[in-house]
Every structure is written in structure tokens, then in C-alpha cells.
Amino acid sequence: MKFAVLKFPGSNCDRDMYNAAIKSGVEAEYVDYRNTTLDGYDGVLIPGGFSFGDYLRSGAMASVAPITDAVKQLAKAGKPVLGVCNGFQILTEIGLLPGALLHNDSHLFVSRNESLQVVNNQTAFTNLYSENENEVFPVAHGEGHYYCTPEMYQTLEQNNQIILKYVDNPNGSFNDIAGIVNKQGNVCGMMPHPERAIEAILGTDSGVKLFQAMVNSWREQNV
């Protein structure tokens, strides 16, 4: 299995994503935002950072980059797509995930470890966690308030698309939502950083199981 790790001007978590993929026992390569194809890749990781300086709004400029059509094609093919922080913002901007990310209610940049509850452990990204298990991932964002309409939320609930919730909401996200998947379950977006939670010596290794789950799920379907 080989992951593409996208790089935009302003990405700053691409190396963390790359290392998390390698730690999961798969290949990974950096892919420039100007590329127009993801042929040869089995999944794509969209890292955090400040793509294009968050000009206009977070993820807006990246959403029209040449690589995004290839991301949509890969997702349509059922391959795994993980977007974290700015990557989550990009996934909502290109329509692969519903909702939007707004400024934190505090209007402050929040950077700290947060406790998260795994509210759905039946996805390709969470199936190695226990239901309602609490895990710790770092957060680092200024626009992490997940917004959706009541109708959108009802759809997310009905389709079991909400996978993570904050125990102590740091940004005002609707109903404490920290991470979601698409209806098909192969596209995942979250504001917390699992790729920064892979070494216990750094404070938490709660993210290891998320990457392992993603890899194992792909192998079960393709090997």
C-alpha cells in the first residue's frame, strides 16, 4: 500500500503525516499540489498547516489546486482519504465532506492536547478503538468550529458519520463534533491531529491505532 501525502504552500504537518504512514508499515510519498494525477496511490493524506496562507478562508485556495480533482477521483474509487486540520477544511471546501469550519468561538488559536470520545468504532479509521473509548490527540487551530445545519446533523447521525467528539469542546463545534466520515466511510476529516499522537514519549500514542486501522481495512479489501 502506498499513500500520497499532499503538499501545499503553507503545509506544516506533511512530515508528521509521512512518518505516521511509514510507522504503519506502508509506503508514502510527497505529492505536490500542482500534480494532476494520483495514479499508483492507494490512499491520500491531506495534512494540516496553512495552505496558501489561509487566504480568503482556510482551505479555499487549496480547493481549486490542480491536485483536488485527482483527490475526488480517488475518493470516488473508494480509496481512503484522510484530511486533518487544514486537510479537513479542504475536504469540506471541495465537497467530499459536509459542513464547514469556522473561527473558534474564542477567536483564539488553540494549541493543546484534547480528550476525544470515539463515538463510532465501526469505520475503516476507528475499528481498532473501543466504542466510547477516550483518546488524547493534540489540537492546533484557529478555525476549528465545525458547523452544520440541523438537517445536516440529522443526516450525519442517521448515517453514523460522526466518529469523534470532544470531551471538553475547545472551539464551539456543533454538538462537540471533532471528526466525521462521508456516507461511504472512506473519506475522513478531523481537526485533532492523530499524526502528532504516535509516540508515547511525546505525550500520547493514541493516533497509532487510527493509521493502523486505515491500513488494515484497505488490506482486508484488497489483498
- Residues that are catalytic: 85, 193, 195
Distance, CA of 75 to CA of 84 (rounded, Å): 16
Q: Measure the CA angle with vertex 215, ends 134 and 44; round to 5°.
A: 100
Secondary element (H or E) of residue 209 = helix 208-222
d(CA 34, CA 130): 39
Give 49's DSSP letter: B
Task: Quickly list DSSP for 58-111.
Answer: TTTTGGGSTTHHHHHHHHHTT--EEEETHHHHHHHHTTSSSSEEE--TT-S-EE
Q: How far apart are CA 11 and CA 33, in angstroms?
A: 10
Element (H, E) at 55: none
What is the secondary structure of 135-172 as a DSSP string?
Answer: EEEEEEESS-EEE--HHHHHHHHHTT-EEEEESS-SS-
Q: Distance between CA atoms of 11 and 160, rounded to whole angstroms? A: 30
